[in-house]
Structures are given as structure tokens and as C-alpha cells.
Amino acid sequence: MLMKWLAGIFLIGLLAYAGWNIYAVQKSPKEGIEEGMKAPDFTLETLSGKSTSLSDYKGKKVLLNFWATWCKPCRQEMPDMQELQKEYPDVAVVAVNFTSSETNSQTVKSFADTYHLTFPILIDKSGVNADFNVLSYPTTYILDENGTIQHIRVGTMTKKEMKQKLDLK
């Protein structure tokens, strides 16, 4: 009789555990590069050689921008990105440079110095831009505090558009 009770309790516990796991998996967004998905994590070096991961910014809204120095629209939006970072320090502006298309890393550093950029510029020699299916520059991903992609924009964004997509006042 005691064995039947223990087996019943064990079975109920097992079913509850399975139900909870199914609920937890359905509740969290799948990883991917489309709106509503959790952005895939990556680790790259900054211009100063420090290793940085996208997951380091969890808990903050993120403007993840893919760009290159030779891209004229990228040059247009960089000052707006810098102003946004200054005005909203709780928002992470992260710029991933398409480094394999650059002459060298010094070109990227000179660009950052010219535009007085203070947000992290990540050097992409490993193909993260391809992982995000970036076909045109600039391409910007807006992520919420949990790393979920809220918006994808191919082309230049103004500061006003950045604020709107980040839901800033």
C-alpha cells in the first residue's frame, strides 16, 4: 500500500516537473535574428582590445549597429548615435564594424576619433555580421532589456527614429 502511494506521488511530481519545463520553454523566445527572437550572443574585441559580449548588456536596451567606415549612410548616423549615448547612458549603443572590409583596424580607430565616438566599437573579423544576415550597411537591431529583438532597420536612422524605436521619451 505504501509503495502505491509513493509511486503515485512520484508520478504526480514527474508530471508537474514536465509541465513546468514545457511552460518555461514556450515562455522564453527562441534564439534567432528575427523580430521577437532572442538575439544570438557573440563576443568580439573593442578597438582597445577588451573582449565584450552582447550578453554583457543584458538589463539594458541595446542599439546594435552594423557599419563600415566606407559607408556614407553610416557616417551620417554616427553623430546621432553618439548624441543618443550621451543623452541616455542607460541605453547601450554598440557598433559592430565590418572589419574584414576595412584597410586595417587603424582606419576604424581614426574614424572613431574623427567622430569623437565614446560607445563601444567592436571589431568583427569573425563574421558576426553574417550571423545576423547583414547584407547592407548600416543595419540596426533594437533589443529590449532581455536581449529580444524588437526592431530591425536596414538603412540610416535619425536620432528621433532611434528614440522612437527604443521607446525613449
What is the pLDDT at residue 5? 67
Identify the burial level of 65 via C-beta atoms within 10 angstroms of its C-beta, where 0-12 means exposed, 13-18 middle and 19 or more buried.
buried
pLDDT digits (tens, 9 = 90+) for 115-151: 999 999 999 998 999 999 999 999 999 999 999 999 9
Task: Please give the average per-residue pLDDT across 153-163, as a whole number.
Answer: 97
What is the pLDDT at residue 3? 75
Q: What angle do CA 159, 165, 169 make, to 5 degrees?
A: 70
Q: CB of 11 within 8 A of CB of 19?
A: no
What is the pLDDT at residue 16? 64
What is the pLDDT at residue 109? 96
Q: In which band, very low, low, confident or very high, does the pLDDT at 4 lie, cut at 50, 70 and 90?
A: confident
pLDDT at 22 over 90: no
Task: Please give the average per-residue pLDDT across 83-112, as a whole number.
Answer: 94
**What is the pLDDT of the chain when averaged over all its residues?**
90
* pTM assigned to the model: 0.83
Read off the C-alpha cell for 128: 558576426
pLDDT digits (tens, 9 = 90+) for 27-59: 567 999 999 999 999 999 999 999 999 999 999
Identity of residue 82:
Q
CA 169 – CA 35 distance, rounded (Å): 22
